[in-house]
């Protein structure tokens, strides 16, 4: 652990009044994955809102078993432990909430208006800037705890995108400490709404930032794959699509991948 950075991140809590998010922050120079570490400490009793940040990750994970490129000093790698009393069916709102928190924070810190690709990607000019991996551990049919992992490609200087990602990924230039602080601040506001059962504002914001609604997309799951048009997001976070035969379907995020017909978006 780098003591200087640890102090810096811990100071976040002194700068604003959060109810729960970021009351406790753990910083490490390197972890295998902030999600893995968070799951471990959440099971051992870490409090709701605890945040784990790493300078780099040896085995950063993305959705659907993909790797998350996590070089030192070139990104924000952080996980937030949440212990809400929510039914597992309502969990997908959390990923959308985190997407909105990141989009709002980036807008405030850099002035850049990003787009949310349902359910978990933040894009700039149709390239991926941030991914969110929400993992749930349930107990007796209820949500035991959640770990919301956030990876943002951000650098204070030069950023080298690996050749294989050059068509799909991008980054922003910003001060990482300021951006982390803002994401946690936004997440705290949004989390309060979730705990109060008030999801509508979050979904409205999500629609405002959405780059998925109105697009021709392909829904890809283990069971099926089909083309359709994304038309809406429901107030419980599902993507509404219209199939070529005119039927409307509501898609849960789970194991589904949404691909643009012409490319990534
Ligand atoms: C995705 O787009 O597929 C999700 C990427 C999530 C990456 C973050 S980085 C911090 C946290 N720890 C991980 O191992 N993954 C998430």
- How much distance in Å is there from the Cα of 243 to the middle of ligand 1? 31
| Neighbour tally for 165: CB within 10 Å | 13
Q: 89-103 burial, b for 16+ CB within 10 Å, e for fewer?
A: eebbbbbbbbbbbbb
| Ligand 1 and 38: CB distance under 6 A | no
Report the pLDDT value the prediction gives residue 142, as an integer from 0 to 100.
Answer: 67
Q: Is the pTM of this model over 0.85?
A: yes
Report the pLDDT value the prediction gives residue 14, as an integer from 0 to 100.
Answer: 65
Q: Which of 33, 130, 133 is the pocket-test mutation for ligand 1 (most atoms within 8 Å of CB)?
A: 133
Q: In this structure, are residues 94 and 147 in contact, taking their beta carbons and an 8 Å threshold?
A: no
What is the residue with the minimal CA distance to atom 11 of ligand 1?
Answer: 149
Average of pLDDT values for 125-151? 89
Query: How far is the C-alpha of 165 from the C-alpha of 75, rounded, in Å?
Result: 15
Report the percentage of the chain scoring pLDDT > 90: 68
Ligand 1 atom at minimal distance to the Cα of residue 63: 3
Tens of pLDDT, residue by residue over 31-46, are 999 999 999 999 999 9
Ligand 1 atom at minimal distance to the Cα of residue 131: 2
- How much distance in Å is there from the Cα of 132 to the middle of ligand 1? 6
Report the pLDDT value the prediction gives residue 162, as an integer from 0 to 100.
Answer: 86
Tens of pLDDT, residue by residue over 90-100, are 888 999 999 99
233, two tokens: 């997001």
Report the pLDDT value the prediction gives residue 91, as an integer from 0 to 100.
Answer: 82
| Ligand 1 and 79: CB distance under 6 A | yes
What is the residue with the minimal CA distance to atom 7 of ligand 1?
Answer: 151
In the chain, what's the furthest Cα-to-Cα distance? 59
Q: Cα-flanking dihedrals φ and ψ of residue 207, to 5°?
A: -65, -40
| Ligand 1 and 99: CB distance under 6 A | no
What does the DSSP 8-state code read for residue 261? Answer: S
The dihedral built from the CA positions of residue 221, 226, 228 and 234, taken in this order, carries a sign that is: negative
Report the percentage of the chain scoring pLDDT > 70: 91
Report the pLDDT value the prediction gives residue 2, as an integer from 0 to 100.
Answer: 56
| Ligand 1 and 68: CB distance under 6 A | yes
- How much distance in Å is there from the Cα of 60 to the middle of ligand 1? 6
| Neighbour tally for 200: CB within 10 Å | 9
- How much distance in Å is there from the Cα of 43 to the middle of ligand 1? 19
| Ligand 1 and 55: CB distance under 6 A | no
**Helix (H/G/I), strand (E/B), else coil: 140:** coil
| Ligand 1 and 74: CB distance under 6 A | no
Q: Which of 150, 152, 153, 154 is the pocket-test mutation for ligand 1 (most atoms within 8 Å of CB)?
A: 150
| Ligand 1 and 115: CB distance under 6 A | no
Please report which confidence band the pLDDT of residue 257 belongs to, taking 50, 70 and 90 as the band edges. Answer: confident
Q: Which segment of 58-67, 152-161, 204-213 scores lowest on mean pLDDT?
A: 152-161
pLDDT of residue 166 exceeding 80, the answer is yes
């Amino acid at each position: 652990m780098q003591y200087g950075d640890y102090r810096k991140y811990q100071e976040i809590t002194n700068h604003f009044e959060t109810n729960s998010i970021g009351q406790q922050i753990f910083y490490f120079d390197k972890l295998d994955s902030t999600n893995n570490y968070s799951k471990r400490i959440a099971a051992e009793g870490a409090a709701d809102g605890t945040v784990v940040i790493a300078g780099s990750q040896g085995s950063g994970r993305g959705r659907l078993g993909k790797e998350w490129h996590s070089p030192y000093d070139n990104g924000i790698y952080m996980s937030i432990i949440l212990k809400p009393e929510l039914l597992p069916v309502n969990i997908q709102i959390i990923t959308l909430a985190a997407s909105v928190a990141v989009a709002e924070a980036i807008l405030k810190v850099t002035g850049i208006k990003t787009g949310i690709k349902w359910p978990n990607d933040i894009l700039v000019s149709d390239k991926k800037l941030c991914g969110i991996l929400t993992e749930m551990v349930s107990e007796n049919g209820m949500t035991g705890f959640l770990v919301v992992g956030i990876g943002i490609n951000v650098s204070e200087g030069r950023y080298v995108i690996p050749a294989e990602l050059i068509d799909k990924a991008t980054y922003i230039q910003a001060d990482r400490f300021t951006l982390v602080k803002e994401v946690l601040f936004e997440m705290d506001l949004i989390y309060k709404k979730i705990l109060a059962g008030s999801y509508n504002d979050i979904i409205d914001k999500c629609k405002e930032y959405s780059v998925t609604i109105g697009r021709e997309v392909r829904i890809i799951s283990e069971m099926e794959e089909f083309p359709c048009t994304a038309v809406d997001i429901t107030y419980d976070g599902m993507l509404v699509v219209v199939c070529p035969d005119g039927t409307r379907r509501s898609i849960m995020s789970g194991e589904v991948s949404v691909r643009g017909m012409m490319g990534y978006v």
